[in-house]
Amino acid sequence: MTTSRIANYVSAALLVLGASNLLAVTKSDAHKDLLSISTQVRLFERVCGRLPTTEEGLKALIERPPNVAEWRQLLVQIPLDPWSRPYQYRLAPDRPLGFDLFSLGPDPKNASDDIHYEPR
């Protein structure tokens, strides 16, 4: 095997390792964001006496929803996940906190790589 061929294999291996490390970092960033956003959703629930509806979504944290007596702006804008897409929110009574908060992950068409907030 030639030296240049070995160098190509080593370069390819390093590229794969680097890509998987980058994916781990971006997933870690998404988990941190989801924790922060979930805190704001729970604060909304304390202030307003209910969770945002699925239709209101995270927009309820930046704009007052209709028919809410008490409200406080909790975010300046809806944050984007590490892949530059908005985080997703929906009411989910079967979930521990009553809502599902998640990123569509690196592939928005593949639900298996979605990153969900899981309370600890």
Give 15's pLDDT tier (boundaries 50, 70, 90). very low
The correct CATH number of 30-116 out of 3.40.50.300, 2.40.160.40, 3.30.700.10, 3.20.130.10 is: 3.30.700.10
Q: What is the pTM of this model?
A: 0.76
Structural tokens at position 76: 């300046």
Q: How far is CA 28 from CA 34, 58, 102, in A?
A: 10, 21, 13
Domain ranges in the chain are 30-116
Any idea which residue has 């998987």 for tokens? 20
Any idea which residue has 């909790």 for tokens? 74
pLDDT digits (tens, 9 = 90+) for 105-119: 988 887 888 999 888
pLDDT digits (tens, 9 = 90+) for 18-49: 444 445 558 889 999 999 999 999 999 999 99
Of 93, 118, 99, give the one whose Cα is nearest residue 30.
118
Helices and strands in the chain: count of H runs, count of E runs:
1, 3
